[in-house]
Amino acid sequence: MASCQSILEEENFTRLFLLLEKPCLKLMRALFVRRLQETNPGISVDAFLHNNRVDLLRTRHGQNNRNKYFPIGTGTDLHTWDIAMLYNMTCFYCPATPERMKGLLNAIKRMRDKLCHRGNPCVSKNQYDTYRQRVNDFLEYGLNYLDDNILRNEIAEDVAKIEQPMAREFVEFHKRIHNVYQEDYSLREVVEGKALFTD
Q: Where does the pLDDT of residue 169 fall: very low under 50, low under 70, confident under 90, or very high at 90 and above?
A: confident
Question: Is the pLDDT reported for residue 75 higher than 90?
Answer: yes
Per-residue pLDDT tens digits for 107-163: 999 999 998 877 778 889 999 999 999 999 999 999 999 999 999 999 999 999 999
Q: Where does the pLDDT of residue 198 fall: very low under 50, low under 70, confident under 90, or very high at 90 and above?
A: very low
**pLDDT averaged over every residue in the chain:** 86
Burial class for 24, CB neighbours closer than 10 Å (0-12, 13-18, 19+) = buried
Looking at residue 78, what DSSP letter applies?
G
Give just the sign of the alpha carbon dihedral 161, 140, 29, 131.
Answer: negative
| Distance from the first to the final alpha carbon of the chain | 35
**pLDDT value for 120:** 79
Per-residue pLDDT tens digits for 9-37: 888 888 998 999 999 999 999 999 999 99
Domain boundaries, the chain: 7-195
Contact residues for 163 (Cβ-Cβ < 8 A; gap 6+): 15
pTM for the structure as a whole: 0.85
Burial class for 54, CB neighbours closer than 10 Å (0-12, 13-18, 19+) = exposed
